[in-house]
Structure 1
């Protein structure tokens, strides 16, 4: 099975369209969407419709913390500077869209892969995988040999050896990585809609479960137009700037 992974679309239509076209050209058997479809970007309604259309075709879609925040009174774990975009995004979604976001599952299993937005050890608390210890906690919490999470906005890859030692790799765009069956693996494909590693190109990944090969991809898109749309919507300026510089 060839599994396509998209995460943290964040209302960015231009990035989502570019990544989707890229994945269609590459070919895949199953699509997994790892949450955070809304907030930050100027087209949250369109992105919701995109995800719903993919689910109708058989895709697996999870809830992210920004998705949950569309129906919750607070913004658990979020900084104050996020609140203006959260409030604006709520006004752009229909009640049905907000309820649909809140109905999405926290985790899912696809073949040998365990999927979550934030982590697998406490998925509803939205804790970040900040390093090897957090990755190990999620790997220990899952029986699956492969774990995929979003939330971090930067491509990352961790492994756990049979003796309990953890390690990490920095993925290179387009370079297939053989995931040894002697180890267990946790991968973060990065963000489609708001990369934060200094590269404005959108992130995604493809995992071949038969060969055990994972490839991280960066997809250029019209980030200047996405940035302009954020400005036109009256959203905070740092959200527009972030797309231009990928930080």
Structure 2
């Protein structure tokens, strides 16, 4: 990717929630491309459908901790187990091939799931600091499911929030749009049919807690 792309849609932590993912992509409107900060699978009932969407749109994606758990056959929770049992071998191979981080747009945008220096570390909003940047204009993080952005003289640090399972007090699906030309970031939310996803979770035999927390936004 080159710097010809300026408006970039940012998504993260889809977690098998195809209904929320569709709502986000529909709401996003005109962007030059979309990138994903990992955790496409886990918790939710539609891992294959979400993977098909991400792969079909050729969305650059990094590995998340739930991808690692599913590929290794060591699931954290029932949604991971469901993904591990239902995804095809080619799906698992694709997940395994996701890189730890990606530098895109001639190095202007870095994507990593958790923390640029430490795998599985939560980078909470209070920890957003220009020291996290390493020469890129925009650092995109996920993992916490908390939507937040800080604009520094050195660049932008942004977590677009969770598409499929927000934990920041707002149950609406979260995403962001960054403008690499203007160096601005727009944090966005969109509602979706939570009850539909809750029923899919129950039908799949995934833990009821995973259904309840979608409306509890935590």
Settle same-fold status: TM greater than 0.5.
yes
User: Cα RMSD (Å) of the superposition?
Assistant: 1.7
**1:121-151 Cα shifts (integer Å, max 9, x gaps):** 12xx221103544x348615x2213211111
Q: Tell me if structure 2 keeps the 8 A contact 1:2–1:209.
A: yes
2:74: which partner in 1?
A: 74
**1:200-221 Cα shifts (integer Å, max 9, x gaps):** 1100000111111110000111
Q: What secondary structure, in the 3-state scheme, does the structure 1 residue paired with 2:96 have?
A: helix
TM-score normalized by the length of structure 2: 0.90
Q: Tell me if structure 2 keeps the 8 A contact 1:108–1:114.
A: yes
Q: Distance in 2 between matches of 1:90 and 1:210?
A: 40
Q: Give the drift of 1:98.
A: 0.8
The one of 196, 201, 205 equivalent to 2:172 is: 201
Q: Distance in 2 between matches of 1:146 and 1:31?
A: 14
Q: Give the drift of 1:197.
A: 1.4
1:128: which partner in 2?
A: 122
- Runs of 4 or more consecutive aligned structure 1 residues displaced over 4 Å after TM superposition: none
The one of 184, 188, 191 equivalent to 2:155 is: 184
Structure 1 position 37 matched with structure 2 position 40: yes
Q: Distance in 1 between matches of 2:8 and 2:82?
A: 33
Structure 1 position 2 matched with structure 2 position 7: yes
Structure-2 change in CA distance of 1:195 and 1:229 (3 Å): same
1:169: which partner in 2?
A: none
Map residues 39-118 of structure 1 onto 2, 5 A cutoff: 39-55=42-58, 59-74=59-74, 82-111=76-105, 112-118=108-114
TM-score normalized by the length of structure 1: 0.80
Unpaired stretches in structure 2, ≥5 consecutive residues:
1-5
Q: Give the drift of 1:52.
A: 0.8
2:20: which partner in 1?
A: 15
Q: Tell me if structure 2 keeps the 8 A contact 1:119–1:138.
A: no
